[in-house]
Amino acid sequence: MPIEEALRRRLIRAAADSIIAHAAELTALDQAIGDGDHGLNMARGCTAVLDDLDRIAALPLPGALHAIGMTLVMKVGGASGPLFGTLFMQLGRSLPETPDRAAAAAALAEAIAAVKARGRSDVGSKTMLDALVPVQEALGDPGPDWRTRLPTVADAAAAATAPMPARRGRAAYLGARSIGHVDPGARTVALIVRALCEA
Amino acid sequence: MKKFMNSADTILADSLDGLAAAHADLLTLGPQRQFVRRAALVPGKVALLSGGGSGHEPLHAGFVGRGMLDAACPGQVFTAPTPDQMLAAAAAVDTGAGVLFIVKNYEGDVMNFDMAREMWAGAAGTVLTDDDVAVETSIWSAGRRGVAGTLVVEKMLGAAAEQGRDLASLAALGRRVNAATRSMGVALGSCTVPAAGTPTFVIGADEIEIGVGIHGEPGRRRGTLRPAQELADEMIAAITADLGAAARGDVLLLVNGFGATPLMELYVMFRAADAALMRAGARVRRSLVGNFVTSLDMAGCSLTVTALDAELIELWDAPVHTAALRWGA
């Protein structure tokens, strides 16, 4: 599965455009249980990535992912910047230039471990990890139709954060009052997964 | 939403430009407004660097100057600043004795300062503030929040740094001041993030949020509005129960407005909190009342109590000259 510059450009643009298009929805989710800035901040980071798209897309896949991660760290701020930035930076370190599905699953597992360490968190705390981990497991499954399965898995995983009480992030201060709301970080993961799979 | 702004996109930049212009004798704005730094650095002094989301003014940039911070990194509204800001600020104010990062215990702030420290090649230390008793750590793994007590930590560390103390002893002092400090807030109304345009939370006409954080995030529970003395009694009871024996001695009392509460009401709360502390066996030896650690246009206030000893009184009384705090200098 060689990932050429045109494809890198298409994937990056699809993911960034999806976040920017859904910024208001993400912000509304964050207003319900956080501080109401997740969509705005992620959109600012994605806009910065698009502004630098010519340079980033020209890099080999690992370098491009690392550059996306650094851009998110430096432009998003809040907790989302370090967390999504760490995710992409570690993907850049772990993915080979031409990954197959199994290599992608292994790299995503390493990136998830890095996110857990950065946020001192794990699954079940109503965070982006609750979408990332099921997606990684689905990616590790050698079924033939993973590109159509993954978005469904990601959407369901994001929706499944609604009944969870938040244990990390600003939403944790709400405790039981966070129940019933989808986690904005998990929703962002689902948006990125769908955009990448459908690009 | 009604705010004095040219646009939501430029409100932070316009405000920082205004701050720098109004206090050009005290502070300077860094390139791309990445940080606010003290105009005149003291060679050989440990540099104190803080930062956090904007919307809490005067925290932190208003505390840059003699006897307090050397630099502050303003993030977007209610959003932690980024590591590149912290690295640029550290490089600008480190005069060789190292940099002490003062970080409020919010996950975004902690993670961004963690990444900055990992990338900073020079000597550095970190003091984490987590003075908010409203968060019960046994239940919430995110831990207690750093709120208005951060002002006390920054003031006392600033005085100690001017004395020439080294990085390790300042870090230890910062932890000691934080451990002697407790806060609790109550919101009467919500706040509106400029870029969002609508209130962060909805609250009824007679409702209050007890234990609110400094971004409008909830605290212990919703309640109904009661007389000021009853509210102060509840807040002081939570604070003194947590401080334990240290509360039965000399204390500093800070009554901090969240941005939309008049001073008249803050002094009502000071009187009530002072009385509650006296009944709890504490003696208020130092006091401060005003809007220092705000939440944009939120109505409400927090009470902060720091248990004092001779050293902490001396550090509190030491000269300070910043945009928002000035005495003895």
Order of all β-strands in the sheet with B36-38? B27-29, B36-38, B71-77, B47-54, B99-104, B124-129
Looking at residue B65, its pLDDT comes to 98
Residue of B nearest to A175 (CA): B140
Q: Is the pTM of this model over 0.80?
A: yes
In a mutagenesis test of the B interface, which of A87, A168, A170 is the best target, namely the one with the most B β-carbons within 10 Å? A170
Q: List chain B residues with pLDDT less than 50.
A: 138-139
Question: Any residues with CB less than 8 A from the CB of B233 and at least 6 apart, and which?
Answer: B272, B276
CB-CB under 8 Å, B107 with A79: yes
Amino acid symbol at B124:
A
With beta carbons under 8 A apart, name residues in chain A contacting B77: 37
Query: CA neighbours within 13 Å on the CB side: how many for A84?
Result: 33
Domain boundary among B160, B180, B200: B180
Q: Cα(A13)–Cα(B29) distance, rounded to whole angstroms?
A: 35
Residue A34 binned pLDDT confidence (cut-offs 50, 70, 90): confident
- Whether residue B135 sits in one domain with residue B281: no
Residue B3 lies in a domain: no
Q: Do B31 and B143 fall into the same domain?
A: yes
Long-range contacts of the stretch B173-178 (C-beta < 8 A, 24+): B174/B100, B174/B102, B174/B127, B175/B127, B177/B152, B177/B153, B177/B306, B177/B312, B178/B127, B178/B128, B178/B129, B178/B130, B178/B131, B178/B149, B178/B153
Q: Are residues B89 and B145 in the same domain?
A: yes
Q: Do B172 and B193 reside in the same domain of the chain?
A: no
Alpha carbons B108 and B86: distance in angstroms, whole number: 13
B133 lies in some domain = yes
Range of the domain at B26: 12-180
Q: Which candidate, B154, B142, B141, B295, places its Cα nearest to that of B213?
A: B295
Q: Give Cβ neighbours of residue B312 (< 8 Å, ≥ 6 apart).
A: B156, B177, B180, B252, B306
Residue B279 has which token pair? 């009944």
**CB neighbours (10 Å) of residue B283?**
12
Band (A177; pLDDT cuts 50, 70, 90) = confident
Contact B173, B160 (CB under 8 A): yes
User: Hey, which bits of B13-145 come out as E strands?
Assistant: 27-29, 36-38, 47-54, 65-66, 71-77, 99-104, 124-129
| A165 Cβ under 8 Å from any chain B Cβ | no
Asked if residue B323 is part of any domain, the answer here is no
B198 in the same domain as B173? no
* Predicted pLDDT at B141: 58
Quick one: closest CA in A to B115, which residue? A82
pLDDT of residue B101: 98
pLDDT digits (tens, 9 = 90+) for B56-69: 999 999 999 999 99
> Does the N-terminal peptide bond of residue B60 adopt cis geometry, omega within 30 degrees of 0?
yes
Chain A partners of B115 at a C-beta cutoff of 8 Å? 73, 82
Domain final residue, candidates B148, B163, B180: B180
- All residues of chain B having their beta carbon less than 8 Å from the beta carbon of residue A31 are 196, 198, 200-201
- Whether B18 and B152 map to the same domain: the answer is yes
Q: Are B82 and B167 within one domain? A: yes
Q: Please give the structure tokens belonging to residue A28.
A: 């509304």
Predicted confidence (pLDDT) at residue A3 exceeds the cutoff of 70: no
Q: What is the DSSP letter of B31?
A: G
Kindly report, residue by residue over A90-134, the tens digit of the pLDDT. 999 999 999 999 999 999 999 999 999 999 999 999 999 999 999
CB contact under 8 A, A125 and B75: no
Last residue of a domain, one of B125, B151, B180: B180
Q: How confident is the model at residue A37 (pLDDT cuts 50, 70, 90)?
A: confident
| B112, B135, B198 ranked by CB distance to A82: nearest | B112
d(CA A125, CA A181): 13
Q: Is A76 on the interface with B (CB under 8 A)?
A: yes
Q: Which H or E run includes B182?
A: strand B181-187
CA B235/CA B247 separation, integer angstroms: 13
Q: Which residue does chain A place closest to B87, by CA atoms?
A: A74
Centre a 10 Å sphere on the Cβ of residue A47 and count the other Cβ atoms it contains.
Answer: 16
pLDDT, residue B120, reads 96
Q: Which two tokens stand for residue B205?
A: 């006409």
Q: Which residue of B has its CA nearest to A23?
A: B196
Strand order in the sheet with B65-66: B65-66, B320-322, B326-327
B319, part of any domain: no
Strand partners, B64: B69
Considering the domain architecture, whether residues B165 and B191 belong to the same structural domain is answered as no
* Encoded tokens for B253: 């009392």
Q: For chain A, what percent of residues have pLDDT higher than 70?
A: 98
Same domain? B244 vs B138: no
- Determine the pLDDT at residue B138: 44
Where do the domains of chain A lie, and which CATH numbers do they carry?
5-198 (1.25.40.340)
Cβ-Cβ contacts under 8 Å for A141 (sequence gap 6 or more) = A149
Among B160, B127, B161, which residue's Cα sits nearest to residue B146? B127
A174 contact B CB<8A: yes
**Residue B151 falls inside a structural domain:** yes
- Same domain, residue pair B154 and B210: no
**Pick from B37, B8, B220: nearest CA to B132:** B220
DSSP 8-class letter at A177: G
Query: What is the structure's pLDDT at B137?
Result: 56
Indicate which CATH number applies to the domain containing B268.
3.30.1180.20
Sheet arrangement for strand B283-290:
B221-224, B207-210, B181-187, B300-307, B250-257, B283-290
Average pLDDT, chain A: 92
Going by their DSSP bridges, the two strands B181-187 and B300-307 should be labelled as: antiparallel
Closest approach of chain B CAs to the CA of A6, in angstroms? 30
Looking up residue B47, the CATH number of its domain turns out to be 3.40.50.10440
- What is the ipTM score, two decimals? 0.84
Count how many domains chain B has: 2
Residue B271 forms part of a structural domain:
yes
Is B99 in the same domain as B167?
yes
Q: Identify which of B82, B111, B218 has the shortest CB distance to residue A174.
A: B218
Q: Give catalytic residue positions of B.
A: 56, 215
Helix (H, G, I), strand (E, B) or coil at B126: strand
* pLDDT for the residue numbered B301: 98
| A 116-155 residues with CB < 8 A to B | 118-119, 125
Which of A77, A175, A177 has the CB atom closest to B75's CB atom?
A77
Report CB contact under 8 Å: B83, A168: no
Residue B322: in which H helix or E strand, if any? strand B320-322
Is residue A190 within 8 Å of residue A158, measured between CB atoms? Answer: yes
- Does residue B315 lie in a domain region? no
Rounded Cα–Cα distance for residues B134 and B234 (Å): 11
B298 and B157, same structural domain? no
List CB contacts of B59: < 8 A, sequence separation 6 or more: B52, B150, B151, B292, B293, B294
Rounded mean pLDDT, A185-189: 97
- Would you give the DSSP letter of residue A186? H
Is B324 inside a domain boundary? no
Cis ω for the linkage preceding B58 (within 30 of 0) = yes
Query: B185 phi and psi, to 5 degrees?
Result: -120, 155
Query: How is chain A split among helix, strand and coil, in percent rounded to 5?
Result: 75, 0, 25
